[in-house]
Amino acid sequence: MRYLVTGGAGFIGSNTVDELVRRGHSVVVLDDLSSGKEDNLAEIRNKITFIKGSITDIEVVRKAMHEAEYVLHLGARTSVPRSVKDPIDTNKINIEGTLNVLVAAKELKVKRVVFAASSSAYGETPTLPKVETMQPQPISPYGVTKYVGELYGQTFGRCYGLENVSLRYFNIFGPRQDPSSPYSGVLAKFCTAFLEDTKPMVFGDGEQTRDFTYVENAVQANLLACEAPNASGKVFNVGVGERISLNEVLRELGKISGKRIEAKYEPPRDGDIRDSQADISQARECLDYDPQVRFEEGLARTFEWYRATQTRAPAKAEK
């Protein structure tokens, strides 16, 4: 099978590409390297086709999608605070970029587009866990863009018969998540703070919770979503089904690292939701999704990965 992975040089993208290659598929990666890195593909570089380009350029998207059967659309601006600071940029990449991917997929008659949606579409729902039947009420521009991506996918299904599945990721973490941007995911930041003996920064009281999900689980969901029958037009939560507070994460990292490091508490961040936890029964039932790696094990593996790769470039500020 031939797959196009947009954002395939990024964190979740490159982990997905590794697995596709391991299974013997033919893979094209489209990535503008704005946050992804060619290094993430180093081990399989000669087994894939890499195209450096942006999803905002439909000609490039068409070229990359040539003869693809499945499209895993993971290219995006991924940060909530970045979208609060610059909603136009996030809109351009996440909405216009997604529209280009869908238009090209319709023209080129791909079998199915799997879209990296986000739990941030829910916003502050009054009850937990979050179920797909709840009305999304995003509270950040980022959440809006991810929700619109789902709606566009479903609408392309209705208008043009394009098969589509949206996966609402719940805080994916693991090897290759970039720790060096001010907009990086919290676990990447916390792991490297513990390794570098610097104080992790906590926005708020640290009692906010997330359903932290090890990347291998997300990769499993991505691959299942391509071929699962009766899944087209649907939205699925991809998490583990647990919720862990940032303070618990810090305690766990203390155990894993054997270090006592005090965190620095800062005011809460705009656009942040308080709690997040997935109900994954729909994904279990319809996709056969069954997360294999629990939080503690995933965190231990992730910490070990950062420890082993500590020679990486020093932190840089984002434009």
Residues 176-205 interacting with ligand UD1 (rule: CB under 6 A): 183-186, 189, 201-203
d(C-alpha 128, C-alpha 125), whole Å: 7
Assigned token pair, 297:
């094990």
120 near ligand UD1, judged by CB under 6 A: yes
Sheet holding 2-6, edge to edge: 49-52, 26-31, 2-6, 70-73, 112-118, 164-169, 234-238
Residues 260-279 interacting with ligand UD1 (rule: CB under 6 A): 269, 272
| Among the listed residues 16, 54, 100, 171, the single contact to ligand UD1 using CB under 6 A | 171
| Residue number with CB closer to ligand UD1 (45 or 269) | 269
Residues 26-65 interacting with ligand UD1 (rule: CB under 6 A): none
CB of 23 to ligand UD1, least distance (A): 25
Selected range binding ligand UD1 among 24-32, 34-42, 115-123, 130-138, rule: CB under 6 A:
115-123
Assigned token pair, 97:
């970029």
The mark string for 234-263 relative to ligand UD1 (x by CB under 6 A, - otherwise) is: ------------x-----------------
73 near ligand UD1, judged by CB under 6 A: no
Active-site amino acid positions:
142
| Among the listed residues 210, 223, 282, 298, the single contact to ligand UD1 using CB under 6 A | 210
CB of 151 to ligand UD1, least distance (A): 16
Q: What are phi and psi of 32, to 5 degrees?
A: -90, 0
214 near ligand UD1, judged by CB under 6 A: no
| Among the listed residues 54, 83, 100, 118, the single contact to ligand UD1 using CB under 6 A | 118
Q: How far is CA 73 from CA 4, 81, 98, 108, in A?
A: 8, 22, 8, 15
Residues 77-96 interacting with ligand UD1 (rule: CB under 6 A): 78-80
Q: How many residues bind ligand UD1 (CB under 6 A)?
A: 22
d(C-alpha 106, C-alpha 115), whole Å: 14
DSSP codes joined into one string, 243-278:
-EEHHHHHHHHHHHHT-----EEEPPPTT--S---B
CB of 18 to ligand UD1, least distance (A): 19
- Contacts with ligand UD1, residue ranges (CB under 6 A): 78-80, 118-120, 169-171, 183-186, 189, 201-203, 208, 210, 246, 269, 272
